[in-house]
Amino acid sequence: MDDVAGQLGTDELRTMAKVVARLRGELVRARAAAAEAAVVERAKGALMARDGLDAEQAAAELARNADAAGRPLAAEARRLLHRLHRTGSPTAARPRVDGAGSPPLPPPLSPARPPQQAAAAGSGPPARWAQDLLEELPGAVSLLAPVRGTDGALEDYLVEAASPAAVDVAGRSGAELVGLRVLEAYPTVLGTPLWEGYRSALETGRAWVGELFAYEEVAAGIPHRSSFRVRAAPWHGRLVVSWERLDGDERQDRRLAEIQRLGNIGWADWDLVAHTATWSEQMYAIFARDLRDGPLSLAELPRLVLADDLPDLDRHLRRLLAEGLSVDHHFRITTPAGVRHVRLVARAEQDAEGTPVLAHGIVQDITATKRIEQELVRRQMAVTAHRSQLQAERDLAARLQHALLPLPQQSLALAGLHVEIAYEPAQHALSVGGDWYSAIELPDGSAFLVVGDVAGHGLDSVAAMAQLRFTAKGMAVTGTPLTDILDRLNTLLLHMADSHIATATVIVARYDPRTRRMTWAQAGHPPPLLLREGRADYLPRPEGVLLGATVHGRYAEAAVALRPGDQMLLFTDGLVERPTEDIDKGLTRLADTVAGDASAPRGPGHRLLDTILADLPDREERRDDVCVLHLTA
């Protein structure tokens, strides 16, 4: 039900409750109607058996008798069945019939009392005196007068007076009950032990005390079941009926039992003088103890306690039993169901001399809570240890990265190029990223430039980056073509031992100052951005799949002639990527920023890199490192 309540809103639940209440009421009313219909059919059958009528004749006679007496059809049917039940047989009450005529109709019932009843009533106080008397009485008490037919048969009881505390299952109380007839107000009472008890008290003159009596009534479309204990005493031809409604206490007991069950809470009383104990049922469940074994005394309790917890419990029990101080203590017990964590809250009652004589305690099974707490502590310790390990790894990776990629303190001059380098780590990344670069002058006087990005973070990324960087530099120094360098780097990454790195991107370039020609190749990397005469354009990318994607990677070269004043950016994707944004949008934004900077007034010390880096998101929003080489011809 908790899962449904979590999915429905309050209004839906209220609507559903109303529909359920209405349907339950309709069901109860349908049952009552079916019961009344059954009574009518039984009465018709009795008439057919007694008077030799067919079904239509029996129904017509029953209806005529009901109309003549001014009572509902079902009430007339009950009256007939009751009279036949008293005589013992449907045929026993059959009147003598002559050969030519039909049996005479039974006389209509009348609420008037027979002469003997009227005489009895007249000898006692009037009903209004009884009402005045009951007004002053505590408890639920009513005065019932028997209602008989003209033949003297008992048909019903009339409520002549009722005390203010008399409340029925429908909520009627006191004066609201006066004037009601028992069978009209409570039709299902007929034939019950309560009805027979009333008859017994009236006929024998002795008081009748009934067993627990349950009655169900529909009020506001909702069935209410109540339990009563009833006493009926004869008085001047009437009945003085008193009752105690027990359903309120029963509901309270059920609520308390449910609270104990849901909260896994039990209560106990320990008599410190008689050395006896009383336990609730939930206490037996907590201690996994058979009810037939009885409760444990406080002296017996420590034998179930784990040895490690015994000294503290012993100290708390001494405070309770010797000093009368309240205790609130957690400890563990051994049970047939295993070890359990329990909480004991107890207080002591003292005699006039201050000696504890009675202890009241509440015990709660907190095993589930303790296990959750222990699991949370275990997981927190594991998380802390893992974070410490990751932080140590990050610190080591950062030191390695700084050792492998020392950032120059000022711009470089390589083969006629002015080179500026920027590296921005993602501040809140848990581990160091794999972005890297290299800018060196080769033995033939040309410049070799590389920017790469190894997938992932941490020591594996730094180790892969170091191998790729040194391999690329070594091959470039020996004059290896750019495409062969990429092919060798791809093979190296595919066969790198003890590495979890899957892929990497890289762009390699060689600038010849004699021809001012920049030759470049790439492996799945963003293209260079060329700024010329205020216009920023990306160079068309030659063929090149990212490193580690396939054994048979194919790579090609492209070339561009740089003019004096041309600027070029080689960068990793961290410069243009944004969360939930297509990378093409980031590339366009970078080109617009570079073109806008070229057309803007330049102050002293102005750097394009400063403008580009200022356009980056805050560090806490960046997921990747940024590496940029700014070349000026």
The CATH number of residue 185's host domain is 3.30.450.20
- Counting Cα atoms < 13 Å in the Cβ hemisphere of 45 gives 7
Instruction: Tell me, yes or no, whether 477 lies in a domain.
Output: yes
283 and 232 within one domain: no
Closest listed residue to residue 323, CA positions, set 335, 315, 311 = 315
- Look up the domain containing 144 and give its range: 128-246
506 and 359 within one domain: no
The runs of H, that is alpha helices, within 73-192 are: 73-87, 115-123, 127-134, 182-185
Instruction: Tell me, yes or no, whether 520 lies in a domain.
Output: yes
528 and 628 within one domain: yes
pLDDT at 142: 92
pLDDT at 294: 92
Give 335-384 pLDDT, tens digit per residue.
999 999 999 999 998 888 888 889 999 999 999 988 898 899 999 999 99
pLDDT at 479: 93
Which residue, of 213, 246, 279, is where some domain finishes?
246
Query: Cα separation of 176 and 159, whole Å?
Result: 10
pLDDT at 255: 73
- Does pTM top 0.95 for this prediction? no
321 and 234 within one domain: no
257 and 234 within one domain: no
594 and 467 within one domain: yes
Q: Identify the segments of the chain with pLDDT beneath 70.
A: 1-35, 49, 81-128, 169, 214-226, 246-252, 397, 401, 404, 406, 409, 427-432, 497-501, 619-621
Query: How many Cβ atoms from other residues are within 10 Å of residue 156's Cβ?
Result: 23
Please, what's the largest Cα pairwise distance for the chain?
A: 148
Instruction: Tell me, yes or no, whether 458 lies in a domain.
Output: yes
Polymer length of the chain: 633
pLDDT at 284: 93
Which residue, of 246, 280, 310, is where some domain finishes?
246
190 and 289 within one domain: no
Sheet order of strands, 557-561 included: 433-441, 447-457, 504-512, 517-523, 557-561
Instruction: Tell me, yes or no, whether 89 lies in a domain.
Output: no
φ, ψ for residue 56 (rounded to 5)? -65, -45
| Secondary structure class of 535 (helix, strand, coil) | strand
479 and 420 within one domain: yes
pLDDT at 29: 65
Instruction: Tell me, yes or no, whether 482 lies in a domain.
Output: yes
Give 231-280 pLDDT, tens digit per residue.
999 998 899 999 887 665 566 677 777 788 888 899 999 998 888 899 99
In this structure, what CATH number is given to the domain that contains residue 619? 3.60.40.10
pLDDT at 395: 77
Domain count along the chain: 3
Give 284-301 pLDDT, tens digit per residue.
999 999 999 999 988 888
pLDDT at 52: 77
Query: Cα separation of 423 and 365, whole Å?
Result: 59
Query: Cα separation of 411 and 413, whole Å?
Result: 7
198 and 320 within one domain: no
Query: Cα separation of 592 and 576, whole Å?
Result: 12
Which residue, of 246, 273, 288, is where some domain finishes?
246
Instruction: Tell me, yes or no, whether 447 lies in a domain.
Output: yes
132 and 239 within one domain: yes
Instruction: Tell me, yes or no, whether 312 lies in a domain.
Output: yes
pLDDT at 122: 37
**What are the structure tokens assigned to 485, written together?**
């360098």
416 and 354 within one domain: no
pLDDT at 34: 66
171 and 259 within one domain: no
pLDDT at 137: 82
pLDDT at 190: 86
Instruction: Tell me, yes or no, whether 203 lies in a domain.
Output: yes
